[in-house]
Structure 1
Amino acid sequence: MHRTDITPKAQTHICPASGQAAEHVLMYLVRDTRGCHLDGLDQLNRYPATPFCCITWMLEGEVSLLQQGKTKREQRLPQIFVAGCQSQYGVSMNLGDRHSFMAVFYSDAFHALFELDLTTVQDRFVDAMGVLNPSGLGLLQAVAQADSHADRCLLIESYVAQNSSDLFNSPWSRLRKMGQNLSLRLSCSLLGVGARQVQRRVRKEAGLPLLGLSRLWRAKRSHSQVLLDLEQGHIPNWTEHASAMGYADQSHLIRDCKEVSGRSPQQLLNDAKKNESDWIYRL
């Protein structure tokens, strides 16, 4: 498992899914702040809008949702919770030390694996025990009781292998790989249905309206490219980056970034370098 140190104490471990599971699971993520004595703003977790569905196991500690977009929230989250696709950025707060394990699924795979209508969890954080199908409930318990994070990854990948037969020829995987070129006409062609049915199916099976998914898939690729450029020692040129990522211009990139994260690209880059609460943007 690859390790990324966020501070000398707080840690995040990330591991991409392997083999066949990588078509359906983006990654596994462990966040551990035990013994770090974080307080104040360092206890916050700032996250972007996302086209993915996640299951989080709070192995130790609790977390409370504080904000979605510009709307204030006050929701203490369950020990095992599902986060549906998020059309807005948000903020949560750790209640004391945190030790959590998260599996990040492509939304269409999540729908198929757990037989869940994604409109019921869009922009929501819900008790996983109340929404997954019977086989999914067994997985939740097994992962919670596993002895190690490596075992948790193996349990999820075994579950995916046993339940992914309907995903082999899914048009969603092709659509999500196209991302920025996604259109209603193309979606109708690949799904074999009319425009109205596409709009209904995309929310149920992929989590968000078609244009919202396309925008967030492009934002994910943009974020990944910025991280790669930084690793290679290149300072982003936002005009060139916008063109390469399929934005109309730099202003388009800035508007989209503000909608996804609440900040401009440069603000986000500056904050992620110094703020513990922006740990997820460094992944």
Structure 2
Amino acid sequence: MHKTYITPKAQTHIWPASGQAAEHVLMYIARDTRGCHLDGADQLNRYPATPFCCITWMLEGEVSLLQQGETKLEQHLPQIFVAGCQSQYGVTINLGDRHSFMAVFYSDAFHTLFELDLTTLQDRFVDAREVLNPSGLALLQAVALADTHTDRRSLIESYIAHNSSFLLSSPWSRLRKMGQNLSLRLSCSLLGVGARQLQRRVRKEAGLPLLGLSRLWRAKRSHSQVLSDLALGQTPNWVEHADALGYADQSHLIRDCKEVSGRSPQQLLNDARKNESDWIYRL
């Protein structure tokens, strides 16, 4: 009798943050390609530009950064790395099998929790052990040594609860929710600074210039809406979608999508349905 061997599929799991932590952490992502024998383009990971800061623990395997926007790179990434806010889309490659855990933080919460000037992290991937404060370093180690992803999420949310007094005073939660409706005057008022100081503070505490943040927050809402429509069996009507999400018109939506992902909305939708490398766009 011949044995039949079934090659497992790459596994991606996503968990929203719970309770109080949901104000500060967007989600957690686990990616596991062990035993899947991925090769060629399937070893790639394509990422959009993002207003979030992420910590990734490579529990097994290694990854290298290959591209940011149109710029080709070759940067081997550390075992535990921080990705600051990204103004450009990017591509990494798995060096063999991968098992990783990622925490995706709202950038302003990341700034407050780990006492980091986010201008130093914009468009960068850095060793987390070289930039986090002492309490952050202890968290890195605890998460790396945890037995399960449930334990990892619990450790991060306990850390946030312990530091909640620093986070509650931040005006950024309200600013995030307002998104593309932000104005210079309102932002100055909520942050308590003048127009001259605003951009410096925004970049330091939220990682990107105000207009860049607003554009990427809108792109995130656009992406979430498309996923919601698809889950209901609805094919996106890009004209209606652009109007509902606050774009000037469909051409504006297409231009923004190309800047964020390198592709038009329809190209991205088609690629995400069939390409293993676009797994993050399916989340």
Q: Using structure 1 for the length normalisation, give the TM-score.
A: 0.97
Partner of 1:30: 30
- Unmatched 5+ stretches in structure 1: 1-6
SS of 1:234's partner is: coil
- Which SS does the other structure have where 2:235 is aligned? coil
**What letter is aligned with 2:258?**
K
Classify the secondary structure of the residue corresponding to 1:99.
Answer: strand
Match of 2:215 in 1: 215
Match of 1:177 in 2: 177
- 1:213-270 CA-to-partner distances (Å, cap 9, x unmatched) read 0000000000000000000010000000000000000000000000000000000000
Larger radius of gyration between Structure 1 and Structure 2: 2
Structure 2 matches for 1:16-165, cutoff 5 A?
A: 16-165=16-165
Cα distance per residue 1:131-156 (max 9 Å; x no partner) = 00000000000000001110000000
Aligned counterparts of 2:158 and 2:196: Cα–Cα separation in 1:
36
Cα distance in 2 for residues equivalent to 1:166 and 1:107: 14
Contact residue 171 and residue 190 of structure 2 kept, 8 A: yes
Alpha-carbon distance in 2 for matches of 1:115, 1:169: 15
Show the counterpart of 2:245.
Answer: 245
Conserved 8 A contact 2:8-2:35: no
- Partner of 2:4 in structure 1? none
SS of structure 1 residue aligned to 2:63? strand
Residue type of the alignment partner of 2:144 = A
Displacement, 1:169?
A: 2.7
SS at match of 1:173: helix
2:225 matches 1:225: yes
The whole-number CA distance in structure 2 between the counterparts of 1:231 and 1:8 is 24
CA RMSD of aligned residues (A): 0.8
Q: CA separation in 1, counterparts of 2:161 and 2:230?
A: 35
The structural deviation recorded for 1:164 is 2.2
**How far off is 1:8 after superposition?**
5.7
Distance in structure 2 (CA, Å) of the matches to 1:192 and 1:135: 28
Distance in 1 between the 2:225 and 2:11 partners?
Answer: 23
1:46 aligned partner, one-letter code: R
Any stretches of 5+ residues in structure 2 without a counterpart?
Answer: 1-6
User: 2:276 corresponds to which residue?
Assistant: 276
- Whether 2:193 is the aligned partner of 1:193: answer yes
Equivalent position of 1:256 in the other structure = 256
Shift of 1:196: 1.3
Opposite residue 195 of structure 1, the aligned amino acid is A
Structure-1 separation of matches of 2:201 and 2:246: 26
* CA distance, structure 2, for counterparts of residue 114 and residue 169 of structure 1: 16
Aligned to 2:3: none
Q: Could you tell me the TM-score, scaled by structure 2's length? A: 0.97
Q: Does 1:15 align with 2:15?
A: yes
Q: What is the alpha-carbon distance in structure 1 between the residues aligned to residue 17 and residue 40 of structure 2? A: 34
**What secondary structure sits across from 2:173 in the alignment?**
helix
User: What does residue 235 of structure 1 align with?
Assistant: 235
Runs of 4+ residues deviating >4 angstroms: none
SS of equivalent residue, structure 1 residue 46? strand
**Conserved? CA contact 2:26–2:104, under 8 Å:** yes
Distance 1:196 1:76 in 2: 38
Which amino acid in structure 2 is aligned with residue 187 of structure 1?
A: S
C-alpha displacement of 1:167: 1.4
Q: Deviations over 1:169-191 (max 9, x none)?
A: 31111001100111211100111
Taking the aligned partners of 1:172 and 1:43, their CA distance within structure 2 comes to 36
Cα distance in 2 between the residues matched to 1:59 and 1:182:
39
Identity value in percent: 88
Give the aligned partner of residue 204 of structure 1.
204
